[in-house]
Structure 1
Amino acid sequence: MPHASAAPLRSRDAFTIDSEKLLFSLSTYFAAALVLVIAFVASLPRPWWALLTVYVTAQPMAGAFSPRALHRLAGIGIGALVTILIAPNLQNSPMLLVLCLAIWIGLCMYLAVLDRTPRAFLFQMAAFSSAVICFPYLDDPSNIFTTTISRVEEMTVAILCVTITHRVLRPTDIRSVIHERALSFLNDACRWTGEAFGVHHTRLEYEHRRKLAADVTELGMMAVNLRFDRRFAHATRATVTELQHRLAILLSIASAAANRLDQLRSLNAVDRETGELVDSLVNSLHSTQEIGESRDSELVSRCRALAEERLQHRQWTSLLAANLFERTAEFLETLQAARGLVRAFAEGKLDQGLQAEVARSSNNFPLARDHVLALLAGAAMTTAIMIYCAVWILLAWPNGAATAAFAALVTCSFAAQDDPAPAIGRYLIATLMTFPLAALYLFVILPRVDGAAMLILTLAPALIWMGYLQADPARSARALPMLSCFIVAMGFLDRFQADFAGFVNTGLAQVGGIITTLVVTRLFRSANSRWTAYRIVRQNWADLAQLADPAQPLAARAWTAQAVDRLGQIAARMALTNAGDVLHAANGLDDLRIGRNIIRARHGLEDRDADTRMVIEAALREVSALYRARLSAHHPLPGTAVLLASLERAIDVVASQPAKRDDSTVMALVGLRCNLFPQTHQHREAE
């Protein structure tokens, strides 16, 4: 099949209509219309909850609707069950009931932020459904069972309608989305590697790192949906997992090779053969995929031959060149394997070799999880609900029960961010800007509307416009507050009611919930990006200290997956920090390369004699000690003289054994020295 290429970016003016965004908006509008018809026919008590659920659960990627729908339905059921268990038993103790509900919703928020998979929708919906069901009836929970059934019916109808309409009107094949994302990653990686090997080496900017790492992580998120597509074999998800692991190491190998080339250039040690090979590689990476693949095998053979030749010498420049050639060959082989997996995934079949590789690989790509950030999100949610309920109960605020639900909705929307306060502030502004439109509809337009069909037609301009904004990543943050304000202000009962006092009270409830969440968020969650990046870097240091310790078990693939995930998180945050910040010395990419070299060195221990193994283990223990020292000092300390001496001794010992030479072990030790001592170019050779 022909190989797709990344589509060029096209500039759009303000009046250009994107057909995909418009189709998403129309699909969601049809789901909303269907929900209103069902709600009116079935006499559901609060159709506006169902209508709001349509837009809360709608997502631009149609292929992700099946698993998200199941998770959300399960979340609604769990939230309803917890509400029924708690509310009747604590109806005589309102404060205790508030406390228990706040703790439950905070726990759901903690799990949602911690999970970082599509399963997080289950916890979000459990928290949201509990708030929606219970808080409006907090002062009279005697009818909580009937209320629970009604809310579950309304939200279930909404989720089913939005899932069905998007699957029918936007039947996007999730396989094609994954295929395009994988091709985009390979194109970006080839382009950057070609630039990195060029005469003017450009470093991998933080935004590029974030995008490349995010692409690898999102492949696994989207692959969850594959089990819902019964047209293809179940092995496809395992194929994507294996592809994730290949792409994860591709970035570290390319950056390692570029780093060796930089060091050779700084020593003026790039000879004619090296220059010719680098030129051939750059031309191959800048060529089309078909031409590049035809050249790769020949380039790999040249690299292996040159690496073997340079390893015959013990000079530092020869070892650097051998490392460059070895990493270049490894990069090309990994690139070929990744392209093969992408083709096999697109075609839906694997050859015997790929089947064996997929079968041997671990069928998971674990992500890094931040318990502290998740705990802060849960604590902020719990505190916001308790503060609001205290104010609401003391003031006996009419219609104020909706505030707790809005607090839950807002917190769910921005819980994963380091500092959600700015986003919540924009949410508040968008809400305030929508009140005039809601008032126009409620008091001017809707009084002249008769019948459900006319109501649906009248709502079309506003809902389609806001749905179009929701499909635009640059403006989607404004869409949800606009939709929630508009829908809740309308009420959408079976009979039209234009009550100005009720409109004002409902508006105050929405604004009150947002402001309460904003205040509590500033108290609990306003951590700057540097603080969060520093915590992620420290987690990397702790893992590297354990990874380098020969006495600890080795989980290479799990560590690589988490390191790539953290690389994206660090890059997104460090791009916002001061250019002179000391943390730029520990930016995640160096740690990824160091970790991969530690893994190679530890794999090479098994085939070494006792004396050589002892020397290598001594060097690894010094690497582990360096990262433990960084943890203790809270600072990216440079490598010590003892560590440098240990690495150089290990390099000399392994390189001096031609009969038992293990190229990967030599290359790993040279890589560790280059990454831990980038400014120390001279190698003290053993006497």
Structure 2
Amino acid sequence: MPRPPTNSLRPGERFVVEPDKLLFSLGTFAAAAIVLIITFTASLPRPWWALLTVYVTAQPLAGATAPKVLYRLSGIALGACVTLALVPNMQNSPVLLVVCLAIWTGLCIYLAVLDRTPRAFLYQMAAFSAAVISFPYLDNPNDIFMTTISRVQEMIVAIICVTAVHTIMRPMDVRHTIRKRACSFLVHASRWTADALGTRHTVLEYEHRRMLAADVTELGIIASNLPADSRQALSTRATVTELQHRLAALLPLASAAANRLDKLRALDAVDAETANLVGRVIGYLREPPDVANQFDDELSTRCRALSAAHASSNRWSSLLAANLCDRMAAFIDTLHVARTLVRAIDDSAIDVTPHLREVDKTRLFPLPRDHGIALLAGVATTTAVLIYCAVWILLAWPSGSTTAAFAALITCSFAAQDDPAPVIGRYLMATLSTFPLAALYLFVLLPRVDGTAMLIVMLAPALLWMGYLQADPARAARALPMLSCFIVAMGFLDRLHVDFAAFANTGLAQLAGIVTTLAVTKLFRSANLRWRAHQILHRNWSDLARLADPREPLDTQSWTAHAVDRLGQLAARMALIGAADALHEADGLIDLRIGRNIIQARQALQYSREHTRIAIQSTLMEISQLYQARLREGKALAGSASLLGALDRSIGATMDKTEEVGDRTLLALVALRCNLFPNAHPLEVDA
């Protein structure tokens, strides 16, 4: 089920003003007031563009604005250069000019969706600025140079003002946001693990997977703002990077422990000591973090001791129990380190050096790039812009240029989302609900305003309220359309110009832009949900085929990062696909566990004796061939009898206590057998 809004009000619940959000709204309004004063004083022709830019670029995080300002300014400059290169040289070929601008916008959106870092703002602003500068003046491009200079000035003034104000006021600390998000993840993961160990393990709900995996990925994106937020940015960035790796490990460890316990219960082989230990782990996970930390070392040590005792036996049930205890110990250790790292984000007195591995490019948490989805977003944007312009030109609509510019704004704002259609639908409803307020201001209140100071005072109630909504994640999706409709509908100029026909025409242009964007989005992106899920799943299988091939180089960190990120993306799509769809036979979480065990088995090859190394290599090649077959057939094929035999021989060879690979390799092979052959008969090993 979808995650409920974090701050939505329940019946009978009182609305409470939160200081951080109010401070953000006050800061953004202060920036808007400064922008209005500057634009009116400097007689810039379109003050409303500057005012709109303030709210489009404002971010609720203190460090989220500063690192993006350079990208945004660079994007504006790039968009302006493209405008000056295209419009004057193609003014006699309007169709060709529109096609070139549409292709440029689509290319920028392709790059923005492909690059999932703050650098994407450069491409978004390049697309947005070129559209808002070019489209409104295609009918009369003779003065395009001065128009471009004016639009660039208005947007630059807005970005500089909002950046300066929020840097000074610092409405929300990025580190606080990271700590809050990580704490939420740890509480959620502990609660689910306790429930899974306490009852018969079932497959995780896709929404829970999406939430947990998405939180791990989002931490890195938020952490990219740290250099502008903290003087100890490097050390904090290292802490957050390590925290990401620890959180990513919790997902497969928790599900693996629950899976092994499920198998033991199915065999009725849970002995009293193991049952008692599982009960203690469940109690530990349900304790508050401050209380639970007192038991970390003792409980982890007991789990590992019982794991070693079970691993000394050749019985299959003992190997499963050893695997269970080992995974519980690893989960507890990882959870303890993650909690320590979370506390260290705010408390510099905590020494996290023992928990930090070398921070270099290989330790960063890389995000996979999806060229297919990015290309689809770019093509959808190009098509949408062409449709806007075709309607505008064919109907000779006086406000059609506003439709194209406004629709480009919406497309650029939501292009990075997987399926923007629901958000754009809410955007439409929020826009409709704001027209009465804009009409009240334009026709009733503003005619009584005299001077910039009185205008700012008059605008304060509406802008402060919308700015507060913008700082609330549960309501932010409503804030931007409300602000856009409110500001664009009034169209602040150096002199008040009240014209109901122009107001209605502009409003219809905005609605037309939103409706067209919604229609194109549904056509190109909503209908391809299953195809995109297939693409993500196939990339995961392709990576696993390479990971299992002993001849390929081993890149553990990149694979884990990609697998966790894809787990979140796949779960988000699976939640919207019918339960009868064959895609549900593929389990991204099982693939994540398989990949981690493959890595452990491959790392043991260099320490193994020849006969054991040959057995493990044979097993890995069989696994690689299985995933290659899945890629060819396009479905989750079951493992072959040959693979099961290879796994059993590897397990038997690794049980030799003279081997140097140790119990962990044995447990990794046992885990592979459980994951690849969940319904296979228990392994029979010679005593």
TM-score w.r.t. length of structure 1: 0.94
Structure 1 residue identity aligned to 2:467: G
Secondary structure, aligned partner of 2:606: coil
Cα 1:422/1:306, change in 2 over 3 Å: closer
**Post-superposition shift, 1:169?**
3.4
**Post-superposition shift, 1:298?**
1.9
Q: Distance in 1 between matches of 2:290 and 2:352?
A: 22
Mapping for residues 195-210 of structure 1, pairs under 5 Å: 195-199=195-199, 201=201, 203-210=203-210
Are 1:558 and 2:564 an aligned pair? no
Q: Distance in 2 between matches of 1:479 and 1:361?
A: 38
**Post-superposition shift, 1:63?**
3.1
Q: Distance in 1 between matches of 2:295 and 2:435?
A: 62
Structure 2 residue identity aligned to 1:656: D
Cα 1:282/1:352, change in 2 over 3 Å: closer
Cα 1:170/1:13, change in 2 over 3 Å: farther
Secondary structure, aligned partner of 1:49: helix
Q: More deviation in 414-423 or 588-597?
A: 414-423
Q: Distance in 1 between matches of 2:83 and 2:60?
A: 31
Q: Which residue of 2 aligns with 1:387?
A: 387
Cα 1:14/1:105, change in 2 over 3 Å: farther
- 1:559-606, Cα deviation, whole Å (9 max, x unpaired): 101111111112222223333433223231111111111111111111
Q: Which residue of 1 aligns with 2:673?
A: 673
User: Residues 392 and 401 of structure 1 are in contact (CA less than 8 Å); yes or no, is this contact kept in structure 2?
Assistant: yes
Secondary structure, aligned partner of 1:518: helix
Q: Which residue of 2 aligns with 1:621?
A: 621
Mapping for residues 407-446 of structure 1, pairs under 5 Å: 407-446=407-446
Q: Distance in 2 between matches of 1:400 and 1:389?
A: 8
Q: Which residue of 1 aligns with 2:59?
A: 59
Q: Which residue of 1 aligns with 2:601?
A: 601
**Post-superposition shift, 1:349?**
6.0
Q: Distance in 2 between matches of 1:530 and 1:484?
A: 33
- 1:244-297, Cα deviation, whole Å (9 max, x unpaired): 111111211121111111111111111011112112212222223344233222
Q: Which runs of 5+ in 1 are unaligned?
A: 1-6
**Post-superposition shift, 1:493?**
0.4
Cα 1:519/1:202, change in 2 over 3 Å: closer
Secondary structure, aligned partner of 1:538: helix
Cα 1:202/1:439, change in 2 over 3 Å: same
Q: More deviation in 429-438 or 106-115?
A: 429-438
Cα 1:522/1:460, change in 2 over 3 Å: same
**Post-superposition shift, 1:358?**
3.6
Structure 1 residue identity aligned to 2:95: M
User: Residues 311 and 318 of structure 1 are in contact (CA less than 8 Å); yes or no, is this contact kept in structure 2?
Assistant: yes
Structure 1 residue identity aligned to 2:121: F
Structure 2 residue identity aligned to 1:143: D
Q: Which residue of 2 aligns with 1:4?
A: none
Q: Which residue of 2 aligns with 1:294?
A: 294
Are 1:225 and 2:225 an aligned pair? yes
Q: Distance in 2 between matches of 1:538 and 1:58?
A: 38
Structure 2 residue identity aligned to 1:17: V
Q: Distance in 2 between matches of 1:686 and 1:621?
A: 25
Q: Which residue of 2 aligns with 1:93?
A: 93
- 1:186-232, Cα deviation, whole Å (9 max, x unpaired): 22222222222224546532222222112211211111111113522
Q: Distance in 1 between matches of 2:352 and 2:573?
A: 42
Q: Which residue of 2 aligns with 1:16?
A: 15
Mapping for residues 453-492 of structure 1, pairs under 5 Å: 453-492=453-492
**Post-superposition shift, 1:235?**
2.5
Q: Distance in 1 between matches of 2:141 and 2:84?
A: 10
User: Residues 109 and 374 of structure 2 are in contact (CA less than 8 Å); yes or no, is this contact kept in structure 1?
Assistant: yes
Q: Which residue of 1 aligns with 2:3?
A: none
- 1:314-336, Cα deviation, whole Å (9 max, x unpaired): 11111111111221222222222
Q: Distance in 2 between matches of 1:500 and 1:359?
A: 61
- 1:47-68, Cα deviation, whole Å (9 max, x unpaired): 1111111121122333312112
Q: Which residue of 1 aligns with 2:571?
A: 571
Structure 1 residue identity aligned to 2:153: E
**Post-superposition shift, 1:119?**
1.6
Mapping for residues 325-340 of structure 1, pairs under 5 Å: 325-340=325-340
Secondary structure, aligned partner of 1:357: coil
User: Residues 31 and 165 of structure 1 are in contact (CA less than 8 Å); yes or no, is this contact kept in structure 2?
Assistant: yes
Q: More deviation in 110-119 or 232-241?
A: 232-241
Q: More deviation in 643-652 or 81-90?
A: 81-90
Cα 1:429/1:674, change in 2 over 3 Å: same
User: Residues 75 and 121 of structure 2 are in contact (CA less than 8 Å); yes or no, is this contact kept in structure 1?
Assistant: yes
TM-score w.r.t. length of structure 2: 0.94
Q: Which residue of 2 aligns with 1:512?
A: 512
Secondary structure, aligned partner of 1:630: helix
Structure 1 residue identity aligned to 2:262: D
Q: Distance in 2 between matches of 1:565 and 1:373?
A: 15
- 1:295-354, Cα deviation, whole Å (9 max, x unpaired): 222222222222222222211111111111221222222222223333333333674843
Q: Which runs of 5+ in 2 are unaligned?
A: 1-5
- 1:620-663, Cα deviation, whole Å (9 max, x unpaired): 11111111121222211222211111111111111134343522
Q: Distance in 2 between matches of 1:476 and 1:344?
A: 30
Structure 2 residue identity aligned to 1:346: D
Q: Distance in 2 between matches of 1:516 and 1:201?
A: 46
Structure 2 residue identity aligned to 1:285: L
Q: Distance in 2 between matches of 1:491 and 1:597?
A: 60
Identity percentage over the alignment?
Answer: 63
Structure 2 residue identity aligned to 1:579: A
User: Residues 191 and 285 of structure 2 are in contact (CA less than 8 Å); yes or no, is this contact kept in structure 1?
Assistant: yes
User: Residues 400 and 505 of structure 1 are in contact (CA less than 8 Å); yes or no, is this contact kept in structure 2?
Assistant: no
Are 1:498 and 2:495 an aligned pair? no
Aligned residue pair count? 681
Q: More deviation in 313-322 or 457-466?
A: 457-466
Cα 1:640/1:376, change in 2 over 3 Å: same
Mapping for residues 24-173 of structure 1, pairs under 5 Å: 24-173=24-173
Q: Distance in 2 between matches of 1:281 and 1:38?
A: 62
User: Residues 418 and 527 of structure 1 are in contact (CA less than 8 Å); yes or no, is this contact kept in structure 2?
Assistant: no
Structure 1 residue identity aligned to 2:436: P
User: Residues 236 and 348 of structure 1 are in contact (CA less than 8 Å); yes or no, is this contact kept in structure 2?
Assistant: no
